[in-house]
Amino acid sequence: MADYIGLRIARWRDANGMTQQQLADRIGVTDAYISMIERGRRPVTKRSTLIALASALGVGVTDLTGQPTAPRSGDELAIYSAVPQLRGALDDDFDGAPVGLDVLSGALDEAMRARMACDYPVLARTLPGLVKGARQLADSGDAAGPALLVRAALTTALVIKPFGWVDLAARYAERAELTARLLGPVEQAAAAFGAAQVALASGTPGGRRRSLRTVVRAAEQLGDDGDDALLTWYGMLHLHAALSAAALGTGDPDLHLAEAEGAARRTGSDPWRMEFTEANVGIWRVGVAVENGAPDKAPQYARLVDRSKIQTANRRTRLHIDAGRGWYAVGDTDQAIRCFLEADKANPAELRSRPSVRELVGQMVRDARRNGSEPLRDLAVRMGLDPLDVDHAT
């Protein structure tokens, strides 16, 4: 059955009893533009457009993207199967003997490394027990418990959010924020970053504004005078502020990127496993360009990133995805396909979790009308799309 964002928009529009013209009026575009989207002639990939459409239709962004999707690989199945356990880890009563601090600390470090390595089987195996153990340790009054719980909850929220489990990610981000109130400014800044990430992913206009306010306020409160942990979160908050400002079309994302770059130059270690480096700032700059109405600059910025300095699959995948989106925007589909295939090499599950990529690949297949190149056919298969069925390329 054919299923892509445009078709979902049409279904929700019909359910609302709206015409294409009425929907177009609500988001400030033409009815011809809505018609092209619904007929699969124009992909919907820009966050602001997707949020505007969802808001106008009275639904969530995930209702339009179709997330969470059914798993297509072992990695995706690992996260999918872990979600019920992760819900229980927040709510279930404690049973069994408490887990020792040394064991939990080791599991936390393993989980934080695995997130950046996109090692989803390890994350699925580690996170539920880690969260439950951290809750138990924090509730026991152990001084190390709250800090460990903040890190465990933040890691979980960042893992499950891209796969569409935004509701559960929001609960984990909220738990991190509540627990961080008992701790110092670094933990509070880390929790604010998680809350802002989820707010931006919520797909509402209010969520975008809340996302930007949260990180700007947290960065101002934190300041940029401190150790590597403080500098990491000062910089990460500004990176997210740049992305949020770009999605809102307000403020100056470049100023936030400059603040982050300055902090990255001063850090020498990565205590929170966030890969906060100058290379990573460059990767975020590519993504900001895609969101900021200047996607043609994304390939240019991507070329400036020192690939030898990228340390993890998470960051390599993100760079290739956003560079590919930029190449598509300037009309070079061959380069876009190459970038997406590079992202697939870095981590297939991470690539397939991105609705924007599925939209673009489906659009390229439809545009090719069964005459696509071998690399496009290969990419379509890897994305779980039928490269020969232009009506079902979604």
Considering only residues 97 and 287, tell me which one the structure prediction assigns the higher pLDDT.
287
The pLDDT-based confidence of 394 (bands split at 50, 70, 90) is very low
Are 92 and 130 members of one domain? yes
User: Is 332 a member of any domain?
Assistant: no
User: Is 177 a member of any domain?
Assistant: yes
Q: What is the count of structural domains for the chain?
A: 2
Task: Tell me which of 183, 202, 222 is where a domain ends.
Answer: 183
Mean pLDDT of the chain: 92
Give DSSP secondary structure letters for 98-152: PPPHHHHHHHHHHHHHHHHHT-HHHHHHHHHHHHHHHHHHHHTT-TTHHHHHHHH
The pLDDT-based confidence of 270 (bands split at 50, 70, 90) is very high
User: Distance between CA 235 and CA 244 in Å, rounded?
Assistant: 14
Tell me the CA distances in angstroms from 44 to 7, 94, 356, one per residue in order: 11, 45, 7
The confidence score (pLDDT) of residue 388 equals: 67
User: Is 347 a member of any domain?
Assistant: no
**CA neighbor of 119 nearest in space, from 312, 274, 273, 308:** 312
The confidence score (pLDDT) of residue 389 equals: 60
The confidence score (pLDDT) of residue 2 equals: 55
The confidence score (pLDDT) of residue 45 equals: 84
Are 63 and 97 members of one domain? no
Task: Tell me which of 31, 49, 69 is where a domain ends.
Answer: 69
User: Is 126 a member of any domain?
Assistant: yes
The lowest-confidence range among 31-45, 145-159, 333-347 is 31-45
- Torsion angle, CA of 342/346/350/356, rounded to 10 degrees? -20
User: Is 206 a member of any domain?
Assistant: no
- Tens-digit pLDDT profile for residues 187-203: 999 999 999 999 998 87
DSSP secondary structure letter of residue 296: G
Are 53 and 114 members of one domain? no
- Torsion angle, CA of 140/84/195/72, rounded to 10 degrees? 140
Helices (H) and strands (E) in the chain, counts: 21, 0
- Tens-digit pLDDT profile for residues 331-356: 999 999 999 999 999 999 989 889 99
User: Distance between CA 19 and CA 270 in Å, rounded?
Assistant: 52
Are 81 and 179 members of one domain? yes
Percent pLDDT > 90 in the chain is 76
Task: Tell me which of 161, 183, 205 is where a domain ends.
Answer: 183
Are 41 and 127 members of one domain? no
Count, residues in the chain: 394
pLDDT for 26 beyond 90: yes
Mean pLDDT of 288-310: 94
Q: Residue 96 belongs to what domain range?
A: 73-183
Considering only residues 221 and 206, tell me which one the structure prediction assigns the higher pLDDT.
221
- Torsion angle, CA of 138/195/174/91, rounded to 10 degrees? -80
User: Is 207 a member of any domain?
Assistant: no
The confidence score (pLDDT) of residue 102 equals: 95
Are 130 and 57 members of one domain? no
Mean pLDDT of 204-231: 94
User: Is 129 a member of any domain?
Assistant: yes
Are 113 and 149 members of one domain? yes
Q: Tell me phi and psi for residue 388, to 5 degrees.
A: -105, -5
Assign residue 37 the CATH number of its domain: 1.10.260.40
Are 99 and 164 members of one domain? yes
What does the block give as tokens for 161?
A: 């959010």
Are 167 and 86 members of one domain? yes
Are 79 and 179 members of one domain? yes
User: Is 42 a member of any domain?
Assistant: yes
Mean pLDDT of 42-71: 88
The confidence score (pLDDT) of residue 97 equals: 80
Are 130 and 90 members of one domain? yes
The confidence score (pLDDT) of residue 1 equals: 35
The pLDDT-based confidence of 33 (bands split at 50, 70, 90) is very high
Are 38 and 89 members of one domain? no
Mean pLDDT of 128-147: 95
What distance lies between CA 223 and its chain's CA centroid?
A: 25
The confidence score (pLDDT) of residue 392 equals: 47
**Residue type, position 367, single letter:** D
